[in-house]
């Protein structure tokens, strides 16, 4: 090992806890080639392999993959090549390629295998500026963490505080060969424009720009951690046991703290990440006095207010065409339009002559002494949210309504059917 580059080797000694194997994201560029070489030179008991993701976005993509395979073989490192298809779908090509790459890498990693990438201080500085230009808050400005969960695995960036010049000098000193991807010089790509045009100008005026911006990212990371800690404390005071937010307690917080609680709530609930407009709208939603079910929707997530609680859920599909099915009750019946499924538990011993239908309006249920009540009143009294009321399945025996989902059950159902019957269960209902 070359003592001149001791900092590169030393950074590779701080392996994340639980790591049993290392997988280098190996594009064949200067940075990842230097990283792979340093791992080869550094004595380790951990198995190392290189993973190359071929996006097929450049004419030379296949040749690059073959070159990476040859280099890995020359260094006696295991090699895996993954072909991916990049689907843009309204995103930038850079973002779509990154998402496709990371999905493929996450699927490829084995148990105890940590992904290691060659991101360095210059990358961190660029990320900080890009996030600032997008109007990001402290978490976005924090840039890339040294260690982060990557699905069930870990993503490790050991060189994040090391300057590009050090890595480039190591590559030249080691007489490495690497691939120069032309997309890295494409001014239509935001990061490439920043790297090729903006950053050189900044360095000409502030030579330590990379280090300073990286330091700012570290400060932002500390601030974000402090904010997250306070948000978690506030969230524990505001969130109910069923995962909803108490709108009154949320409203008692300052606007800034309430917004952070909403962000934290959606994150721990594994929902889509909202932008600042959605967060502000959700906080305002908590004070809504609308009689209907107010809603803030973004990506595949909806946040709705009901009964003084904010509910986060997967975006609901519109209520479709009314349905009606014959059902024997022996197996769960899957319902259309995201209405879940209806089942009887335990399943009946004999086949029943039931019918399951959607609400059409005006339905009534039996209510003592030959009286009847409207289904809408039963649902309101049971505090069923409006988005469930319009999707609840109705179960009939012949022409008699015997169950409204698992919310109401006919008081004399056994006499009507002339057999014992288990509980109706409305499964997979919209959250």
Known binding positions for ATP: 27-32
> How far is the first Cα of the chain from the last one, in angstroms, to the nearest whole number?
57
The residues pairing with 366 across neighbouring beta strands, listed in sequence order, are 372
Q: In what order do the strands lie in the sheet with 301-306?
A: 245-246, 309-314, 301-306, 295-298
* Strand, helix or coil for residue 187: coil
Cis amide prior to 174 (ω within 30 degrees):
no
Q: Are 336 and 325 in contact (CB under 8 A)?
A: no
Residue listed under structure tokens 């295998």: 113
Annotated binding site: 27-32
Q: Using alpha carbons, select from 243, 295, 298, 255 the residue that is nearest to residue 274.
A: 298
According to DSSP, residue 367 is labeled -
354's CB contacts (< 8 A; 6+ apart) are 326, 327, 328, 329, 395, 396, 397, 402
Q: Phi first, then psi: what are they for 39, rounded to 5°?
A: -70, -35
CA distances from 153 to 24, 55, 102, 282 (A): 13, 22, 12, 32
């Amino acid at each position: 090992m070359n003592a001149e580059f001791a900092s590169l080797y030393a950074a590779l000694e701080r392996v994340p806890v639980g790591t049993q194997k290392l997988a280098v994201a190996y594009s064949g560029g200067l940075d990842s080639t230097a990283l792979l070489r340093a791992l080869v030179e550094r004595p380790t008991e951990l198995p190392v392999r290189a993973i190359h993701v071929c996006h097929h976005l450049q004419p030379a993509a296949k040749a690059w993959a073959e070159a990476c395979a040859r280099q890995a073989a020359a260094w006696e490192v295991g090699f895996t090549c993954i072909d991916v298809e990049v689907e843009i779908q309204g995103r930038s090509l850079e973002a779509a390629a990154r998402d496709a790459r990371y999905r493929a890498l996450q699927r490829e990693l084995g148990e105890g295998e940590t992904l290691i990438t060659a991101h360095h201080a210059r990358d961190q500085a660029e990320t900080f500026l890009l996030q600032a230009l997008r109007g990001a808050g402290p978490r976005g400005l924090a840039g890339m963490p040294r260690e982060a969960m990557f699905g069930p695995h870990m993503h490790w960036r050991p060189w994040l505080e090391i300057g590009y010049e050090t890595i480039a000098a190591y590559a030249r000193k080691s007489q490495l060969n690497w691939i120069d991807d032309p997309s890295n010089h494409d001014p239509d790509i935001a990061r490439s424009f920043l790297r090729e045009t903006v950053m050189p100008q900044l360095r000409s005026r502030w030579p330590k720009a990379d280090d300073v911006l990286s330091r700012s990212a570290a400060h932002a990371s500390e601030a974000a951690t402090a904010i997250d800690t306070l948000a978690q404390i506030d969230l524990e005071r505001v969130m109910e046991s069923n995962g909803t937010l108490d709108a009154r307690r949320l409203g008692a917080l300052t606007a800034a703290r309430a917004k952070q609680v909403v962000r934290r709530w959606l994150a721990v609930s594994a929902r889509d990440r909202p932008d600042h407009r959605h967060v502000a709208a959700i906080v305002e939603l908590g004070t809504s006095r609308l009689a209907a079910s107010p809603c803030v929707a973004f990506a595949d997530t909806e946040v709705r207010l009901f009964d003084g609680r904010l509910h986060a859920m997967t975006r609901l599909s519109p209520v479709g065409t009314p349905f009606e099915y014959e059902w024997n009750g022996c197996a769960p019946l899957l319902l259309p339009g995201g209405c879940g499924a209806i089942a009887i538990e335990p399943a009946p011993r004999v086949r029943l002559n039931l019918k399951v239908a959607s609400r059409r309006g005006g339905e009534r249920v039996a209510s003592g002494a030959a009286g009847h009540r409207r289904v809408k009143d039963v649902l309101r009294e049971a505090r069923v949210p409006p988005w469930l009321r319009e999707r609840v399945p109705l179960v009939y025996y012949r022409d008699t309504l015997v169950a409204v989902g698992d919310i109401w059950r006919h008081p004399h159902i056994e006499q009507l059917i002339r057999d014992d019957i288990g509980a109706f269960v409305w499964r997979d209902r919209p959250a």
